[in-house]
């Protein structure tokens, strides 16, 4: 997933997710907040579907994995605004592995970034780099680059992870977005408090994706 497609997915997801809660909030803010919080399990369930293939690839039962991941997902969810404004929040995750047989170098390699400055240069639309790390694990080298930006009445966090070895490479993208209709300040107040929590969730998801890449077996 490219930075443009990840941003688009986050924006669309934030517009669609919790629409029922937003409509309720226009009538009753307290009731809307309760319904929004009740929607968290649905978001977690959607993520579980995304993580099922990854869990299978590392030999972990999805229910066990979700017991570890669900608390991280819940704290990444923002506190609903006290006003009656229409608001939304969403997150999404995708990862891919490419592995060859016999140690041959696979096609489609990307650039391994060395620092946050290189990250900012590669993803100019992503906004300020809020977290960067280099990855070295079991013969894989790579990076994770996390950016946060505000666009009109929406806050977006994007994580792009890439790592490669002699016969494989992987990529993983995490995107989260929070919006408050027609209110840029309220959107920032909604999203900024959960930026660190979303960074933590993005790091954990990236680590799982890297582990899956280490254990991946090439197709015949």
Residue 197 lies in a domain: yes
Residue 148 lies in a domain: yes
Q: How many independent structural domains does the chain possess?
A: 1
Instruction: Please report which confidence band the pLDDT of residue 32 belongs to, taking 50, 70 and 90 as the band edges.
Output: very low
- Which residues does 205 contact at the CB level (< 8 Å), separation at least 6? 51, 69, 93, 95, 159, 172, 174
Residue 63 lies in a domain: yes
Residue 12 lies in a domain: yes
What integer pLDDT is reported at residue 133 of this predicted model? 97
Strands (DSSP E) found in 45-101: 87-99
Q: If you search the block for the tokens 């299978």, which residue do you land on?
A: 56
Separation CA 122–CA 126 (nearest Å): 9
Q: If you search the block for the tokens 């991280």, which residue do you land on?
A: 72
Q: What is the mean pLDDT of residues 36-62?
A: 82
What predicted TM-score, i.e. pTM, was given to this entire model?
0.84
Instruction: Please report which confidence band the pLDDT of residue 152 belongs to, taking 50, 70 and 90 as the band edges.
Output: confident
Q: What is the mean pLDDT of residues 184-195?
A: 95
Higher pLDDT, 218 or 144: 144
Residue 28 lies in a domain: yes
Exposed, middle or buried: residue 7 (CB in 10 Å: 0-12, 13-18, 19+)? buried
Average pLDDT, the chain: 83
Say yes or no to pLDDT of 139 above 70: yes
Question: What is the separation, in whole angstroms, between the first and last Cα of the chain?
Answer: 25
- Which residues does 66 contact at the CB level (< 8 Å), separation at least 6? 44, 48, 51
What integer pLDDT is reported at residue 21 of this predicted model? 41
Q: Which domain holds residue 8?
A: 3-215
Instruction: Please report which confidence band the pLDDT of residue 5 belongs to, taking 50, 70 and 90 as the band edges.
Output: low
Q: What percent of the chain has pLDDT over 90?
A: 53
DSSP 156: E
What integer pLDDT is reported at residue 1 of this predicted model? 47
**Would residue 103 be called left, alpha or beta, if left means φ above 0 and alpha means ψ between -120 and 50 degrees?**
left
Instruction: Please report which confidence band the pLDDT of residue 35 belongs to, taking 50, 70 and 90 as the band edges.
Output: low
Determine contact, residues 81/87, Cβ cutoff 8 Å. Answer: yes
What integer pLDDT is reported at residue 200 of this predicted model? 97
What integer pLDDT is reported at residue 9 of this predicted model? 54
Residue 168 lies in a domain: yes
What integer pLDDT is reported at residue 10 of this predicted model? 53
Residue 220 lies in a domain: no
- Which residues does 50 contact at the CB level (< 8 Å), separation at least 6? 92, 93, 94
The string of pLDDT tens digits covering residues 56-115 is 989 999 999 999 999 999 899 998 888 778 888 888 899 999 999 877 888 889 999 999
Residue 38 lies in a domain: yes
């Amino acid at each position: 997933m490219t930075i443009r497609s990840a941003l688009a997915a986050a924006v669309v997801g934030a517009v669609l997710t919790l629409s029922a809660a937003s409509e309720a909030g226009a009538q009753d803010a307290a009731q809307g907040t309760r319904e929004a919080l009740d929607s968290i399990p649905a978001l977690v369930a959607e993520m579980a579907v995304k993580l099922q293939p990854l869990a299978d690839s590392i030999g972990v039962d999805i229910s066990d994995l979700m017991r570890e991941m669900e608390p991280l997902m819940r704290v990444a969810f923002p506190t609903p605004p006290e006003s009656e404004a229409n608001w939304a929040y969403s997150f999404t995750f995708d990862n891919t592995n490419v592995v060859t047989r016999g140690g041959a170098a696979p096609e489609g390699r990307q650039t391994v970034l060395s620092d946050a400055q290189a990250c900012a240069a590669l993803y100019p639309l992503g906004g300020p780099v809020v977290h960067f790390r280099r990855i070295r694990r079991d013969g894989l080298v790579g990076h994770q680059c996390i950016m946060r930006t505000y666009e009109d009445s929406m806050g977006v966090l994007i994580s792009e992870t890439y790592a490669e070895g002699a016969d494989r490479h992987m990529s993983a993208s995490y995107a989260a977005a929070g919006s408050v209709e027609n209110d840029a300040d309220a959107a920032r107040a909604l999203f900024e408090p959960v930026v660190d929590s979303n960074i933590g969730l993005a790091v954990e998801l990236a680590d799982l994706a890297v582990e899956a890449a280490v254990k991946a077996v090439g197709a015949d």
